[in-house]
Amino acid sequence: MSTTPDLYCVMGNPIAHSRSPWIHARFAELTGQQLHYERRLVALDGFAQALRDFAAAGGRGCNITVPFKLQAADLADTRSARVQLAGAANTLVFANGQIHADNTDGLGLVADIERNAGVALAGRDLLLVGAGGAAAGALAPLIERQPRRIAVVNRTSARAQALVASHTALAVLHKTELLALDIQAPEADFDVIINATASSLAGGAVPVPASVLRAGSLAYDMMYGPAAQGFLDWATQHGAQARDGLGMLVEQAAEAFQLWRGQRPPAAQVLQELRAAIAK
């Protein structure tokens, strides 16, 4: 007797570029789970209704991408400690008529940088570019790796300062210097530069000067594919090690899959397969 697969999705705007359906289908195949995962394009003013519609359709969980991560945290009934600190959510669990919010972005970012790129963060100087939902989700897991310093820059400096203020206690606990700097003149260079803005997705210019790079710095864009290419080209031209966010995407998806299904999928294998498929 056949059963209807559990329903999951990714919501965002834009969303057509998302590789999440392929990733979760592969996770399900490799772990023997029965699920259906789809893209859902959400109107910019329609996120709350989209959640209600998804719940009514029997949805079990969804990933949230730009620009709805802050709203996802606000609209949830319960929130993980990561969401409470970040004020942003990228993973929702639907159960018993309620929505639980979590944030796996930072966990995925750290796993990709340390495990897949082989760059240890402890004792390093980090620059986090952006102060929106993506940056907010990443900051606490980055602090927990005990880098020497994390500087946050943002086009609107007040948002960078607010993000730093909300994470100061955690930074003190982990003996990490945490500060907000001027995005146009950070007056420092860094071991790792993480672009958490939507500038790549919008085809905009790199939001920070090349002076933030050291020889051999890791320049990491949370976007992937064509959206990240401008940032990656900029990093390579200035002697940095460039990396896109495809590994972060797979690693954060693995964290979400484990939340939903109680089983850890083989993220490294799926990342390798996805890069090979994209390269064809």
Instruction: Write out the binding residues.
Output: 18-20, 65, 90, 105, 130-134, 154-159, 222, 224, 245, 252
Can you say which residues are annotated as belonging to the binding site for NADP(+)?
130-134, 154-159, 222, 245
Beta bridge partners, 193, equal 127, 219
Of 26, 39, 60, 69, catalytic: 69
* Strands of the sheet with 125-129, listed across from one edge: 177-180, 149-153, 125-129, 190-195, 213-221, 241-243
Q: How far apart are CA 217 and CA 90, in angstroms?
A: 28
Q: How far apart are CA 61 and CA 54, in angstroms?
A: 9
Q: How far apart are CA 120 and CA 116, in angstroms?
A: 11
Q: Which of 141, 151, 135 is nearest to 221 (CA)?
A: 135
Backbone angles phi, psi at 218, to 5 degrees: -90, 120
Cα dist from 189 to 163, 220, 222, whole Å: 21, 15, 20
What b-and-e string marks burial along 190-226, b requiring 16 or more CB atoms within 10 Å of the CB?
bbbbbbbbbbbbeeeebbbeeebbbeebbbbbbbbee
Please count the other Cβ atoms lying within 10 Å of the Cβ belonging to residue 4. Answer: 8
Q: Which of 244, 191, 233 is nearest to 213 (CA)?
A: 191
Overall size of the chain counted in residues: 280
Can you say which residues are annotated as belonging to the binding site for shikimate?
18-20, 65, 90, 105, 224, 252
Q: How far apart are CA 29 and CA 27, in angstroms?
A: 5
Respond yes or no: is residue 69 known to be catalytic: yes
Q: How far apart are CA 57 and CA 122, in angstroms?
A: 44
Catalytic residue annotation: 69
